[in-house]
Every structure is written in C-alpha cells, then in structure tokens.
Structure 1
Amino acid sequence: MENIPVYCEVKNGQREITSIHPSIDYILAETQGIIVYQEQVMQIAQVMAGYSLGGADLLRRAMGKKIAEEMAKERPKFVEGAMKNGVDKKKAMEVFDLLEKFANYGFNKSHAAAYAVVSYQTAWLKANHPVEFMAGVMNCDIHLTDKLAIYFQEVRKGLSLEWTPPCVNRSQATFDVKDGKLVYALGALKNVGVEAMRLIVEGRGEKQFATLYDLARRVDLKKVGKRPLEMLARAGAFDALDRNRRRVFSGLDALVAYSAAIHEQKASAQVSLFGEAGDDLPEPRMPQVTDWLPAERLAEEFKAVGFYLSGHPLDDYLAPLKRKGVMTLDEVLEQAGARGAFVGKMAGTVAGRQERKSARGNRFAFVQLSDPTGQFEVTMFSDTLEAAREHLETGSQVVVQVEATMESDQLKLLGRSVAPIEGVVADAGGSGLRVFLEQPDAITLLANVLERAGREVPKGQRIARGPISICLMGEGLPGEVEIDCGADWPVTPQIKGALRSLPGVIEVEEV
C-alpha cells in the first residue's frame, strides 16, 4: 500500500524509477519499478537466482501462503543461486525480502486486470449514480447489520445523500431509490426477513395504508409475525400511521388478532350482510400510553436497526460536553491528522465489547462506541478495562480519555480511563432553557416533567440548574409571548430531551 503513491508519481513523471537491480529492471518496467504481479515474482526468481519455472511457482506459493518452513528452505537457495549469477549476497537478501513482502498480497496479472476493470466500473457508478450505487451495495449485504452501519455512514456523512427512513407506506422490502432519495429497506431491520416484508409491500400495492386498522385488513399480520412487527414499531416504520411508537408496540397483540379474524373470515368465503367479509368486526382499542422518551425511542430503534437512524443519544449532550473540552470523532480525526498523536477526551454510546486474553494471560478489550458524527473503536488494556468494565455495558454513555494516533490513514485509539457521562457534564454549567410551544395546553405537561425531574434528583448528586422560560407561538396569540418560570430548574440533557418530546413543543434551545 505504501508504494501506491510512488507508483502514481513515477507514472506521472514526478520522480524517476528506482532500480532494484539491473538484471531485473526490465521485468518491472511496466509497473514503474514496483513488484505488483505474481508472475514478476516468478520471473525474478528465474532470472536472478536461476530457478526453474516449476521451482519459481513453488516459491510463489510458499510466499503467498506464508508457509514458514518452505520459506526457510527457499531463502538460502535463492541467495546461493543469485550469487552464482554475480549478485552480491546482501543485495540478494534484500531482493528476497522484497519478493516475500509483495507476494503476500500480489495477484496474478489476469486477476489484477479483472479487478482493475471492476474497480473502475464501481468507482464510476459511485461517482455518477451515488444513490443507486449505495442502494445496490446495501442490498448485497442486507442481512449484515455491521456492514449496513458502515454503508449508511457513507450515505449520510461521506456522500451527504438524502434518505427516507423505514416506512410501511414508502419502503420496499429491499433498498430502493425514489425521487433521488435512498429509501431504507423494511427487510434490512433485524429479525424481520425480506419475504415477510414483501407481504406488507404486496398488501399496500398502489394505495398507501390509511391507518393501522387499514393495514391489518389488507395484510395478514399473523403471516408477517409478531416479532417482525415489533421491529417495525421500534424502527418507526408505522410512524406515518401512528407516531406513538410505544402505543403501536403495546397494541400489536390486539392488532394481529384483529387481522387474523378478518382474514379467516375472508378465507371461509362467508358473506356479511353489512359488506365484505370482516368489515363488520369492531376495531380493537389501542392502549392509551405515553410515547417513549427520546432516549428510550433511540434505544428501541437501535434494537431494530442495529445503529441509530433518527438521532443519537448524545445529541442533547453536545453543548455541555463541548464546554468540558470533550471532542467528537470528527474533531479527533482532524486533530490526529494534523498532529499525528495526542491525548484527549471523547464521548460515546457503547455499542459492543469484545474481550480477549493476551499471551501473558492479561485481559484486554476492543470497545465499539458511537457519537453523532460516527462510529469508532477503542482498545483498552487490562488496568483500564478492570477499572471501567461496569461502565462498558451496551447502551452506556461514557467519556473516554484516549491516546489517538494515525497509522496508514487509520485512526487508532487507546483508552486510558473511562467515566460515566453524567458525572462529567454535571458541573458543565452555563445555561438555562427556552421552550417554544405552539399550544398553551402543553404548559401543564411541561410543568409535570420539571416537577418530577426536581423530585427524582438523587440525594447528594451534583446537577446543572438554570432558568427556564416558555415562548408561546401558536395561532391566535398576540405574537411571541415569553413566560419566565421564576426559578432555577434542573437543565440536564435528559430533561432537555424529555421536554422536546412533549406534544405541542416545537423546540428546546439553550440560553
């Protein structure tokens, strides 16, 4: 990989070809003096060390498969043959080391040419038809959540493409493109299955579902299955029919039973006096429950999608974290690229942890985290791991002191310490909140949230407090009306998120 820039510079006339040895320069002339093809490895062995064609192939195979015993036999044979042809022993050793290095990842020429054509074609498609290209790539790995997370990061951040979240009224079973936007696939959710999602798409046909009951009448939800329906509810695929995800999730049993009864009547060929079969069945009453709070919605969404789609748990923490000098992944990448190596703090939501044991018996771990700007992995050795293990459960939100370095354009992060995020931002201070409402009725809900938040602060725990004002902006009001709540209230990120989720709240901003 390190020779790619050299190859390009020589090809573009920016530097001269570096000779490895005069006897083999002609073999490497077409590849700018760099060993690229397996055939070149074999030719060099023949020309420089007097190998037969069969012997050269055995050398290539031993190098390519890293067969240590065979390599140990070939080195003195190569050096001896090269010395017989007038090559200095030191130079012969250098050439053998080069051959060993390049044979590890070299292709034969025909294979490399085919790869080059396919690489060019896919690069052209990505550059000229990025939405269609990413839809195709994601369909290839539709059941591999880890790969979908990487691809979706490229969609949202790398290419800045527009996208539509999973929706029973807009999505297909697989990834699709509509009006220039990537439409997230229903079949890409965990534990759903593409075939089950095709039942929903076929039931929808050309006419969108009007309500959950309409969907239940047109699609046999029993055939779809309760588990896939739960994943759809968690991911927000029913939001177009009912935005209260918790209500939909809790009412699935009744909805599936209603759908099954309707489709059983249809299958029995009975005719109702009041219309089509099943039309006379009463619609079930959905549970009257409040929706999940923003953090809960994101946690449920993560269970269904495998990563965060509609937001990130750290969104409401960004301002206090910034005041505490905690950096995002984007900022760390920028700093590491400019400085090479440095120590800083990063915040993240834990997505997973793999523990391993070293040759000495010490445990270490690779911890996967994410923030609103992307996903990253932190390596933690035994001392840090033992001290931090209780904070590294999936879903936990932490601040990690890391040693960041760039190696071959890859960010490497070594964790030095871990702390729960609440303790870090507790004294971040700074601000109050301004809550924008579009209807006066929301004031009662807001007051209930603030009073409950004040009561539930653990004894002795530090917590940020500040003024809260309310701005009424609904129709019929005399312009923007601002009301001061008249006291200092808890203004934590969780409370900010809880207020934002209330019906009638337009926005919550720090002041």
Structure 2
Amino acid sequence: RYTRQEWFKTRSEMAALFSDLPEALDNTHEVANKIEVYQLDKSPIMPEFTIPETFSDANDYLRHISYEGAQWRYGEISAEIAERIEFELGTIKFMGFPDYFLIVWDFLKAAREMGVSVGPGRGSAAGSVVSYCLRITDIEPLKYNLLFERFLNPDRISMPDIDIDFDDDGRDKVLHWVREKYGSKRVAHLITFGTMAAKMAIRDVARVQKLPLSEADRLSKLIPEVPGITLAEALKQVPELKFELDKGKPEVSSVILNAIKLEGSVRNTGTHACGIIIGREDLDHYIPVTTVKDSVLEYASQYDGKFIEPVGLLKMDFLGLKTLSIIKDTLKNIK
C-alpha cells in the first residue's frame, strides 16, 4: 500500500517519527556498526576444462600442449624459447588462468576443423609465446620483441582478454559448438543498454506529450550534430533552444524540461556485437539473465560488460569479420 512516506528520510525526520521510541534509532546504528567490511568483487569464476586422465591438472595439460605446439611452430626448441614458455606458463599458473587458455585453444581447434577462418590475433595476446604455440595467435612474439607482460602481469591481476576473429558465417558455427560443449545455460551474450541521447529524448517526450510532429522535428533539429552532446550543452550553444525553454509555449517548454530529466535513461536493450560469457555453472547462479531472439545462443546477461569482470565471470570476444569472409571466398574461388 502506498503511504506517501516512501523516501529516504533525514536524521531529524526519523527522530521526529520515532520520538516515542528513540532507542530504535540507536539500534539501527548498532546493527550498522556490526556489519563487516566486504567486497563485491570476486575472484575469477573460471569454467573448468575437462583434461585427459593422464594429466594431473590443467597446468600440466597446458604445459604438454604448449610444448607440442612449440615443436610444431619452431621445430627445434631453443633455450630462449623454452625459457620464455616456462616464464609464461609460470605466470599463467600463478594467476590461475590455465583453463582460460585451454578453453580458447579448444574452440579455436574446433573452429579450424569446421573450416572456419580464424584471424591471426590482435591486441596484447600477440605478445604470448604460449598463445602462439597453441595457435591462438599467429604472430611470433620473439621475432618482434613483443612483451608478454602487456598481456598478463602478476603485478596487475586482471582477467586475460583475447579477441578472436572469425569469418562472418563461421562465428555462429563456433558459438553453436561452444553452446553444445558447455551447455546453453552456461553461455550467453553480453547485454547492451541503449540510452536516450539529447535528440531522442526530445522526440520521445514530444511523442508522449502529444506535441505536433513538426514541432518535435523543429526542436530536435535545434540540437547541434555533435556526438555525445547533452541538452545542457545545447542550451548553452543554441540561443533559440534556450528561448524555447525560458519563454516559449508552455507545451514546448515542458517537453524540453522533461527531456532533460530523462536524458541518459535506458531506452532499450540489445546484445553486444562480440562479447560472450562462459560460466562454470548455469549463469543464473551468478547474474540475472534474459532470453534473446534471432541468435544461436538462448540467453544474454542482464549486467553489461563493465560489471561482468567484477562479478568474476569470464568474458570473451567472438568477432565476426567480413574481411575474413572475403579472403575465405577469394581463396575458394582461386582453388
């Protein structure tokens, strides 16, 4: 039942309400003071990669396939290469990310077996010899003096971030494979939130307040075509818009005032172009999820990207590149 008392009251307002029972406020403070300090951030909730029984753990298996890959990449494994591999494996073990590398290695291996084109790698992951040996990247780090520490650094604990490029058509095949391997409830898109920009806020409020379309168009066109401009900035830059707010028709002024209040509010949701989450258990154990349409995956997170890592979930970027599709088709035509 709505009591018209639903707001955060000041200390004096609460004291007035409980004037006959002042100890109630003291009890509130007592309870608050007993709350222990806690962190919302969590350590990574890494999906567990199933390893062959002949290996003791994920680190052991990662070492095995890294040296197998090094043999394939380099032929002869020099002391320099072995030293770099051991250094990287030690860092990966220390930071607790062997399963991450195994998961990426596994779905890239599957992608190639399905005939999906995979990009050569991008970003700081190209500085990893282990990634190179696992065919996660195709750039030889030692040749170009690339630093592994740009990718993983024990002094700066953060989740590894490997952006993977697939050809446009192949991306869905890989997502389907990942969904089948880990379970539909453990793999999801990242949600995105579309917010009301200045022009959209004007148009939406005008429509709700039944302002004529011609007036709504006129007002929205007064806002400069500058990316990210706010209504507050537009009012400073455009005297005519300021006039409409201060001295214009009441119905027009009302639209601008309400648009200012609503600007920046979430207007709609979508799915991230490439962000994918893989969970150790069903994702709804960790975060709220929602269903999605027209996708290989069934779910999307209801947290956007900036909150996924603090929760501890693993985010990967599966990018579909038209460029790779063109190259793939070109090679097919040549053959």
TM-score range, shorter chain: under 0.3
Structure 2 length as normaliser, TM-score? Answer: 0.21
Q: Please say which structure displays the higher CA radius of gyration.
A: 1
- Higher relative contact order, structure no. (Cα contacts within 8 Å, ≥ 6 residues apart): 2
Larger % of strand: which? 1
